[in-house]
Amino acid sequence: MTRTEWLLAAGERGNSATRLDARRQDGKAWSEANRAQALVHGSTYFAELLEVVRALRPGDLLLFTDWRGDRDERLAGPGTEIGTVLREAAERHVVVKGLLWRSHVDGLRFSQQENRRLGAEIEEAGGECLLDMRVRPGGSHHQKMVLLRHPGRPELDVAYVGGIDLCHNRNDDATHSGDRQSLPLASAYGPHPPWHDVQLALRGPVVGDVEAVFRERWQDPAPLSRSPATRLRALMHREDADADGLPPQNPDPAPCGTHTVQLLRTYPNRLLHGYPFAPDGERSIARGYLKALRRARALIYVEDQYLWSPRVVRSFAQALARNPGLLMIGVIPTVPEQDGRLTLPMNLIGRITALDELRRAGGDRVAVYGLENHAGTPVYVHAKVCVIDDVWASVGSDNINLRSWTHDSELSCAVVDGSLDQRRPRDPGGLGDGARVFARELRLGLMREHLDVGEDPGRRAAAEPDALCDPASAFRAFEAAAAALDAWHATGRGGPRPAGRLRRYTPPDLSAVRRALATPLHHVLVDPDGRPLRLRRHNAF
């Protein structure tokens, strides 16, 4: 197997203006010899983030981007509020630079005030945090990453990339009892919504790639907002509107592992003065998926907040139609985050039509599930994970929908491990690629949690067969666990609760009238298209 069969070559990114693919002398559009670690759950990520940020010394560098930041969100306990931790780092003369999405107004259930308050706390301590509204109308900066560089100690350099924001709701663990610092979701999730999420910790040369992504946005000379009203409010609040310089970028950290990592991104086609690093936008997340899906033969495993938009899932449907042995498992929220009379149909219509397309192509080879905790409360699935044939794995900020693939800014990591997994089946796809340790362990770890299956370290050490390694066995295990739990609920919860947290997802029916009203609102407000017209016409990316 060569990396070019799964990953995008430099010319395939579709954006020649970025410096990301011109950084290395070998001309490769990815970095090799990295160590990627999946941090499942916000509590796992936050605990590690707290430790490494508190260890920063004067002159070290902390860069971050975020969709929402709540300055009072605790990483561990009292005194570990994210605002406090970043402020203390800046006071120790760590170079702290942040890009927060300015956000739409709070009256529309967004984060304008919260992001402004976190930015102000960082600025008061000597750091710099800009509120960035360089987006398409109705769009957002959705990238979630934290980067730490240590001049003179590059072995400590690390980047965190994934789906976890530095905000309320995210600090949950494997029990899925919810973050005590909560924001309201749909009523089904209760006062402390259970939350499932994943972030990657990256070490090795890829850290330099993540820094290059941050620097491109930081050094964009365009005003932070085009809106005169927004710029006036920024002036009234004395917000920092001009990015100061960054110290020169240090050489990439030394090789330290077996993981090849490719950074994939979305930037929209921003009308008038676009991004200098993506003047026609960038859709390498979409392109990365399209390339990997063409090689799918055994199992597509997806955890996604949305999994909607027929124009996006068409690529999954085509893979299912081409390959009659291909299975697909999706894990999604049982209930959309908003359940209002208008917002619920707007959210449901995209999922209903997308799942219809998948099932037309794959029939009973497509299975979609929601999660619940052991108390029976639905778990809000915020993770953005895809594993194909235990070879290619993607973790990032992007969801499987048109907004994430074309309209908002997103950052994702495609990982292909150089280490072969010796458990059977050793080559699930049958193309000679061989199962890879990172992708398989990511999938198995997530599946074991959802099935309430503990890992036997002795079995793993001996590389003995694991039933979940086999795609068909894993597919059946999910099916059986969900059927048992569904039946237990249907019969009044009598007797012991079956193992597992999986519930078969069945989309509710929408009347023809509600479909007709919801569809245009979904396309305009929920899942807009950020592509140039020439690409929209052909549904190309």
Q: Residue 152 and residue 520: Cα distance in Å, rounded?
A: 55
Helix, strand, coil % (nearest 5) of the chain? 35, 20, 45
pLDDT at 459: 43
Q: Read off the pLDDT of residues 337-385 as tens digits, 9 standing for 90 and up.
A: 988 877 888 889 989 999 999 999 999 999 999 999 999 999 999 999 9
11 phi and psi, to 5 degrees?
Answer: -70, -15
Q: Read off the pLDDT of residues 192-243 as tens digits, 9 standing for 90 and up.
A: 999 999 999 999 999 999 999 999 999 999 999 887 777 777 777 778 889 9
Q: Where are the domains of the chain?
A: 36-256, 282-532
**Between the CA of residue 220 and those of 215, 230, 470, what are the distances in Å?**
8, 18, 47
> Do the two domains 36-256 and 282-532 of this chain adopt the same fold?
yes
Tokens representing 257? 């592992």
pLDDT at 104: 61
The per-residue DSSP string of 145-183 comes to: EEEEE-TT-GGG-EEEEES--BSTT----TT----SS--
C-beta of residue 417 within 8 angstroms of C-beta of residue 377: no
**Between the CA of residue 221 and those of 119, 187, 206, 352, what are the distances in Å?**
20, 43, 26, 42
Does the pTM exceed 0.85?
A: yes
C-beta of residue 504 within 8 angstroms of C-beta of residue 279: no
Query: Which H, E and C letters describe 30-49, residue by residue?
Result: CEEEEEEEEEECHHHHHHHH
pLDDT at 457: 45
**Answer CATH for 282-532 from 3.40.50.10540, 3.10.20.440, 3.50.50.60, 3.30.870.10:** 3.30.870.10
Name the stretches of the chain with pLDDT < 50: 106-108, 457-464
Cβ neighbours of residue 113 closer than 8 Å, sequence gap 6 or more: 106
The dihedral region occupied by 178, where left means phi > 0, alpha psi between -120 and 50, and beta the remainder, is left
- Beta-bridge partners for 202: 36, 159
| Burial zone of 10 (CB within 10 Å; 0-12 exposed, 13-18 middle, 19+ buried) | middle
pLDDT at 1: 63
Q: What angle do CA 355, 378, 451 make, to 5 degrees?
A: 80
The per-residue DSSP string of 342-365 comes to: THHHHHHHHHHHHHHHHHHHHGGG
C-beta of residue 134 within 8 angstroms of C-beta of residue 521: no
Residue type, 416: V
Tokens representing 539? 């549904």
Residue type, 215: R
By DSSP bridging, strand 198-203 and strand 410-417 are unpaired
C-beta of residue 26 within 8 angstroms of C-beta of residue 61: no
| Burial zone of 248 (CB within 10 Å; 0-12 exposed, 13-18 middle, 19+ buried) | exposed
CATH code: domain 36-256 is: 3.30.870.10
DSSP structure class, residue 236: H
Residue type, 58: P
C-beta of residue 283 within 8 angstroms of C-beta of residue 406: yes
Q: Residue 98 and residue 86: Cα distance in Å, rounded?
A: 10
pLDDT at 338: 87
| Burial zone of 518 (CB within 10 Å; 0-12 exposed, 13-18 middle, 19+ buried) | buried
pLDDT at 442: 98
Cβ neighbours of residue 191 closer than 8 Å, sequence gap 6 or more: 178, 182, 184
